């Protein structure tokens, strides 16, 4: 996301116009938003209120010290530049400070006449506990401000500013969070319902309840000599486990029958009673273990297939998974 940093440029004004212009130009080239007090007269009683508001909105603070102390705020008898610095320090905003290397080279109108001791004390305050860079001319100052800002953004990252259309509003964010929470709750409810016995299924034969399965075996598979009739008892769990694996994928009723006959009966050529087979399908469907669906085929048209339900998958895992002893 394209982010811009707002930078407060603090200095005296009349004597540092050229230097401020070069610094502001550098900040604009670095995609920053420079902020200063160029448009506020020093005698404005509300100036410090406005200054504090602007500093609060800034990400970084740049202080430029030249040869003058600056306009005095009547109540504190400090310069507005010093008050700006002290407020930025109080608010914990990253500060980059720069002082003139040689005041002796400054023109007479750029040196302090009225409060030289206050300027000296302010310089000592700024340079006492922080690294400050000296500057000799406007270009030198602009280059050092650029390097210092690169360091600040790497080591002291701030929130910055982005276009309103690039970020979601708080209302939209809250709505998204709420929808995610509701979605998670619905997923949990679905998972619970899928792993729980269907409502009303307790009235059906299931689990370890026994079911008589009738089947026939031909006397002679190669001649029409009649059939022998047999009955075997299987639990509903055994019946379900005998077919559940093949029902992981859609399968036709014919294939279920063939697989069931091979799985339940040891005898070759055994044929399950048609009524019993239909009862098994209906019972497993009543227990919500399997379900039917239709599919269109290019060659066979529409046909019905059987597959495990979500609950059937959960029940298969419960019955087949190896339990810890």
Q: How far apart are CA 193 and CA 199, in angstroms?
A: 10
Q: What is the CATH number of domain 6-166?
A: 3.40.50.10140
Q: What is the dihedral of CA 116, 122, 125, 126, to 10 degrees?
A: -120
Over residues 253-265, the mean pLDDT reads 91
Tokens describing residue 161: 């500013």
Neighbours of 297 (CB within 10 A): 8
Q: What is the pLDDT of residues 292-307, one digit of tens each?
A: 988 776 666 777 889 9
- Cα 71–33–170 angle (5° rounding)? 120
CATH classification of 201-320, choosing from 1.10.10.10, 1.10.10.350, 3.20.20.300, 3.40.50.2300?
1.10.10.10
Over residues 251-270, the mean pLDDT reads 89
Q: How far apart are CA 47 and CA 41, in angstroms?
A: 8
Calculate helix-pair angle for 138-155, 17-29, nearest 10 degrees. 40
Q: Is 10 exposed, middle or buried (0-12, 13-18, 19+ CB in 10 A)?
A: buried
Q: What is the pLDDT of residues 156-192, one digit of tens each?
A: 999 888 876 666 666 667 778 888 888 888 777 766 6
Q: How far apart are CA 300 and CA 304, in angstroms?
A: 11
Name beta bridge partners: 12.
none
């Amino acid at each position: 996301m394209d982010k811009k940093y707002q930078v407060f440029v603090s200095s005296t004004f009349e004597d540092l116009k050229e230097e401020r212009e070069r610094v502001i130009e550098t900040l604009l080239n670095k995609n920053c938003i420079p902020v200063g007090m160029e448009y506020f007269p020093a005698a404005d009683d509300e100036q410090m209120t406005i200054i504090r508001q602007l500093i609060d909105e800034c990400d970084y603070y740049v202080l430029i010290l030249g040869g003058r102390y600056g306009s005095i705020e009547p109540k504190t008898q400090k310069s507005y530049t010093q008050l700006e610095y002290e407020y930025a320090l109080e608010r914990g905003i990253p500060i980059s400070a720069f002082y003139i290397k040689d005041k002796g080279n400054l023109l007479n109108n750029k040196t302090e006449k009225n409060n030289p001791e206050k300027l000296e004390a302010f310089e000592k305050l700024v340079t006492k506990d922080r690294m400050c860079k000296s500057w000799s001319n406007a270009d030198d100052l602009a280059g050092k401000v650029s390097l210092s800002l690169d360091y600040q953004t790497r080591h002291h990252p701030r929130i910055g500013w982005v276009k309103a259309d690039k970020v979601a509003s708080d209302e939209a964010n809250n709505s998204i969070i709420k929808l995610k929470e509701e979605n998670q709750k619905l997923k949990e409810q679905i998972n619970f319902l899928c792993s729980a016995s269907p409502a009303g299924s307790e009235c059906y034969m299931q689990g370890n309840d026994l079911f008589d399965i009738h089947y026939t075996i031909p006397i002679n598979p190669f001649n029409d000599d009649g059939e022998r009739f047999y009955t075997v008892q299987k639990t509903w769990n055994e019946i379900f486990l005998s077919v559940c694996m093949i029902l992981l994928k859609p399968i036709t009723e014919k294939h279920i029958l063939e697989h069931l006959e091979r799985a339940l009966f040891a005898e070759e050529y055994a044929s399950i009673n048609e009524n019993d087979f239909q009862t098994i399908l209906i019972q497993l469907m009543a227990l919500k273990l399997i379900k039917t669906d239709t599919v269109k085929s290019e060659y066979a048209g529409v046909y019905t297939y059987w597959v495990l339900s979500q609950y059937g998958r959960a029940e298969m895992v419960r019955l087949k998974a190896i339990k810890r002893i």
